[in-house]
A and B are shown apart, each in its own frame.
Chain A
């Protein structure tokens, strides 16, 4: 009993001492009134968070709700967030409105190939720039940085011409005339995404943090640079590959401009292009459109939720200035 009592007493003492100190501070700066303002600050941040969260979430909720409504409900003048009856049939109908299996396959195929190839060549190039001091390194690196600044929208027109005039492809002769070139081919859809230099930059940043000793010691064991990269660097680069992978994946999956100009046959459409087909119809079937929108975004959301950490790390690494 006594123990507890004394404990309480000492605690009280400590607390009162603290209060005294706080009081002194408050007396010294009467305008501050720290305790009150702190609460007000916390409440206001909470209000901001809730408000912004609601504003962010509403369009998504509307998308989900519309995808489960009938067209009749959509046309009715009242605002209805919750559909009377969940119309899951909209999803099935939307997927039959056009060859959605094919579109999804196209998108997955293009994206997966882009991700695999860019992970391979970007990490290898990044490693070389981070670790090997070769002739012309600075020049090539500056070239690469300049290339990073060139937006794809600027090279869109000449790239299209080059793809159309690609020699010995799609019925073209060796001078690139006569046929359609790489238009409406997977190669045409994939190639420009591999050429971006952002990934090299990202990997280089990452490999720069490795101790130089790793290379030196691998060398003593008779490892060539390439083998050092494969055997030592690759197993250690899961974070950077995950970051680059998810950024490349979302970037390629979400791309609209390039597939728009590169494809005109229904067979080669990616999901983003296919979505806009609903828009082009005389009467827009909003419920099917929203259902298709959700289907096309699900893979991105799943990936984002799993690899959130790496996604953010990738964005931040790209934002760091050279």
Chain B
């Protein structure tokens, strides 16, 4: 197969060389303004073919991404609640947000969740990546192992941790009791519940951070370390003086992606705590879900969605503004 394909390509190349110059040089230089009629026809035919080829995707994309986001924006100014009439209420939904204690609590929870997930994830992910960045067989096996939680679905992960946190039958309390400590209420404790979710999140996503960092580590030129060795620097010193500065832009990227992911937190909240106890684990997306699908306040839920969208866009923009031109990993 491979050989056949290569032959085919070779033939194509050979034919190409014969006629290359006259026609394609002109086209390759992007001279659109050329008066050449043949070229013009050719281009428009290209255009048409391009439009036909991208149309299946763009039909889906426009209908199910762009239209919904527009509908969302429009709905956020209405009191729409499925079925009944859609009345324009201006900024009322947005003003209500500022005094909605549940929403403010969810915003706060999400911020805490993001902050306390992102920092440990970045640090621990980096440590893991540095530790497994070797050629021995044990490193290959453990690398795969670290990614396992990441490919497991959030539902499955939530189920496992739900069992471990369970106050009566769970593993953590059994360990605490056998060590002679008082058992804790974990997810049923207002102060602990969010922390429980954060720990689980770190466990699940460390593999992702590790993958990104590993790629970064492997792109650091080897000669920097050789130079370091010649100068007699210890491995730890090189870690701080070479590795960490070289992966700065990657760290920033990880910071951004993991915070965006944290802001989208929903599944584990719905499955493990239902937002409780006393709203101590409710998140922004969980509020959207509750408003929209248990109270049918579609307008209000849309307003919360828009707030979430603005937050995520702000983080992304920050990434584009600040993330550029730092470190070596800014290839296209």
B228, chain A: closest CB distance, angstroms = 10
With A155-B69, A158-B302, A300-B152 as known contacts, state yes or no: A59 contacts B161, CB within 8 Å.
Answer: yes
Report A-chain residues with C-beta under 8 Å of the C-beta of B84. Answer: none
Size class of A's contact patch?
A: 35 or more
Partner of A149, one of B58, B132, B313, B323: B313
**B283-322 interface with A by 8 A CB criterion:** 285, 288-289, 292-293, 298, 301-302, 305-306, 308-309, 312-313, 316, 319-320
Say whether B264 contacts A151, CB under 8 Å. yes
Say whether B234 contacts A59, CB under 8 Å. no
B180, CB-defined interface residue at 8 Å: no
- Which residue of B has the minimal Cβ distance to A231? B8
- Which residue of B has the minimal Cβ distance to A45? B131
- Which residue of B has the minimal Cβ distance to A149? B316
CA distance A59 to B50 in the complex (A): 50
- Which residue of B has the minimal Cβ distance to A75? B169
Report B-chain residues with C-beta under 8 Å of the C-beta of A134. Answer: 46-47, 50-51
Report A-chain residues with C-beta under 8 Å of the C-beta of B113. Answer: none
CA distance A24 to B236 in the complex (A): 21
Say whether B159 contacts A279, CB under 8 Å. yes
Partner of A153, one of B47, B148, B266: B266
- Which residue of B has the minimal Cβ distance to A42? B235
CA distance A278 to B159 in the complex (A): 10
Report A-chain residues with C-beta under 8 Å of the C-beta of B67. Answer: 158, 162
- Which residue of A has the minimal Cβ distance to B157? A59
Say whether B308 contacts A34, CB under 8 Å. no
B182, CB-defined interface residue at 8 Å: no
Partner of A147, one of B66, B148, B157, B171: B66
B142, CB-defined interface residue at 8 Å: yes
Report B-chain residues with C-beta under 8 Å of the C-beta of A56. Answer: 145-146, 148-149, 203, 206
Report A-chain residues with C-beta under 8 Å of the C-beta of B61. Answer: 144, 147, 195, 197
**A44-58 interface with B by 8 A CB criterion:** 45-46, 48-49, 52-53, 55-57
B173, chain A: closest CB distance, angstroms = 9
Report A-chain residues with C-beta under 8 Å of the C-beta of B260. Answer: 151
Mask: chain A, 260-276; 1 = CB below 8 Å from B; 0 = not: 11000000000010011
Say whether A322 contacts B56, CB under 8 Å. no
Sample 20 A-B pairs with CB under 8 A, ordered by A number.
Answer: A56-B206, A77-B174, A121-B56, A124-B57, A153-B264, A154-B69, A157-B292, A158-B75, A159-B68, A160-B292, A195-B63, A212-B28, A213-B13, A216-B20, A220-B12, A256-B153, A256-B271, A272-B155, A300-B153, A315-B208
Residues of A near any B CB (own CB < 8 A): 25-26, 28-29, 32-34, 37-38, 41, 45-46, 48-49, 52-53, 55-57, 59-60, 62-63, 66, 74-75, 77-79, 120-122, 124-125, 127-129, 132-135, 137, 140, 143-144, 147, 149-151, 153-162, 164, 191-192, 194-197, 200, 212-214, 216-218, 220-221, 224-226, 229, 232, 235-236, 250, 253-254, 256-257, 260-261, 272, 275-276, 278-279, 286, 289-290, 293, 296-297, 300-301, 304-305, 308, 311-312, 315-316, 319-322
Residues of B near any A CB (own CB < 8 A): 5, 9, 12-13, 15-16, 19-20, 24, 27-28, 30, 46-47, 49-54, 56-58, 60-61, 63-69, 71-72, 75, 82, 124, 127-128, 130-132, 134, 138-139, 142, 144-149, 151-157, 159-164, 166, 168-169, 171, 174-175, 177-178, 203, 206, 208, 211-212, 215, 229-236, 253, 257, 260, 264, 266-267, 270-271, 285, 288-289, 292-293, 298, 301-302, 305-306, 308-309, 312-313, 316, 319-320, 323-324, 330-332
The 3 nearest A-B residue pairs measured at CB: A254-B153, A217-B16, A29-B232
Q: A121-B57, A304-B147 are in contact. List 8 more A-B contacts (CB 8 A).
A: A48-B128, A132-B50, A154-B312, A157-B75, A225-B46, A226-B53, A260-B270, A275-B156
